[in-house]
């Protein structure tokens, strides 16, 4: 299958969100109609133990632009997003959480920045989360930015668009979804953050806990800081290599 330069694939990781899956298509309708892209939705079932997969299959059967992947068992948010990016066939990929606490219509704001940037990420305004979650997120973002200097205030915002090639060049590890901007900057890519809306969770349960919000990201931040400090760059002044075509077999 050839890459679709006029398309974008929005990856939607799902873990035990059976009650909210029916909200996904109505929430995306206006964005799909107004987007400059041919929009595809790729739902990734991350080993759900409820009826999420059944609901996902119903959507995919009814709509050609909806596809799905299903994991044998829960592998985590980063794995679900990465699997979606790997199996997309569009030049651009996006990501949003299935809880729809961010608005698919805000993808239009992100699209407007694509001509000048390789990765566009949202910054949640007026967050409708619990006080504990907001405080831990604020601290985690402050610590990450103080260590990595990526200039992003809300790296974990679940609303992003990026070049698929940039996404696939990022190293894959658990928790990588919190560091997309920093990982793009390591590649020398252009990143911008813009404000987006945020809503309370209506269905499902938050996957938030102290470990996945603070302790594990703390370790990942230190590892990324080491990577950035150890970066090596070079400039080629001359070469004798002739231009040639590279054929990639999929």
Where does 15-74 show beta strands of DSSP type E? Answer: 38-45, 66-70
pLDDT at 249: 47
d(CA 208, CA 120): 24
Cα angle 26, 31, 36 (rounded to 5 degrees) comes to 150
pLDDT in tens, 230-250: 666 667 788 887 665 554 444
Q: In 3-state terms, what secondary structure has residue 234?
A: coil
| DSSP type of residue 37 | S
d(CA 43, CA 53): 10
pLDDT band at 146 (very low <50, low <70, confident <90, very high): low
Range 173-184 average pLDDT:
87
Kindly tell me if the per-residue pLDDT of 200 is higher than 70: yes
What residues does each domain of the chain span? 4-229
The tokens for 138 are 């604020």
Q: In 3-state terms, what secondary structure has residue 216?
A: helix
Residue whose C-alpha is closest to residue 161's, from 201, 197, 193: 193
What percent of the chain is modeled with pLDDT above 90? 58
Topology annotation, domain 4-229:
Spore Coat Polysaccharide Biosynthesis Protein SpsA; Chain A (3.90.550)
pLDDT at 81: 97
pLDDT at 2: 47
Range 124-138 average pLDDT:
69
Q: 151 or 68: whose pLDDT is higher?
A: 68
Dmax (CA) for the chain in angstroms is 60
pLDDT at 235: 77
d(CA 229, CA 190): 19
The tokens for 14 are 């799902």
The pTM for the full model equals: 0.79
pLDDT at 174: 84
The tokens for 228 are 């950035």
Start-to-end Cα distance in the chain:
8
Kindly tell me if the per-residue pLDDT of 153 is higher than 70: yes
pLDDT in tens, 201-216: 777 666 555 555 556 6
pLDDT in tens, 114-129: 999 999 999 999 876 5
């Amino acid at each position: 299958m050839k890459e679709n330069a006029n398309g974008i694939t929005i990856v939607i990781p799902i873990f035990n969100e059976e009650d909210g899956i029916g909200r996904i298509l109505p929430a995306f309708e206006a964005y799909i109609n107004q987007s400059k892209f041919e929009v595809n939705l790729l739902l990734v079932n991350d080993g759900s133990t409820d009826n999420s997969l059944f609901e996902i299959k119903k959507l995919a059967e009814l709509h050609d632009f909806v596809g799905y992947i299903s994991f044998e068992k829960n592998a985590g948010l980063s794995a679900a997003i990465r699997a979606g990016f790997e199996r997309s066939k569009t030049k651009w990929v996006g990501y949003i959480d299935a809880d729809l606490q961010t608005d698919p219509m805000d993808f239009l704001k992100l699209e407007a920045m694509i001509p000048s940037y390789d990765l566009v990420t949202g910054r949640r305004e007026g967050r409708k989360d619990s006080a504990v979650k907001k405080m831990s997120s604020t601290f985690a973002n402050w610590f990450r930015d103080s260590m990595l200097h990526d200039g992003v205030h809300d790296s974990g915002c679940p609303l992003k668009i990026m070049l698929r090639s940039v996404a696939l060049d990022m190293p894959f590890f658990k928790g990588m979804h919190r560091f997309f901007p920093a990982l793009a900057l390591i590649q020398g890519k252009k990143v911008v953050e813009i404000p987006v809306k945020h809503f309370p969770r209506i269905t499902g349960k938050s996957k938030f806990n102290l470990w996945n919000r603070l302790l594990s990201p703390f370790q990942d931040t230190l590892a990324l800081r080491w990577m950035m400090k150890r970066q090596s760059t070079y400039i080629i002044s001359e070469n004798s290599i002739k231009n040639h075509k590279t054929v990639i077999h999929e």
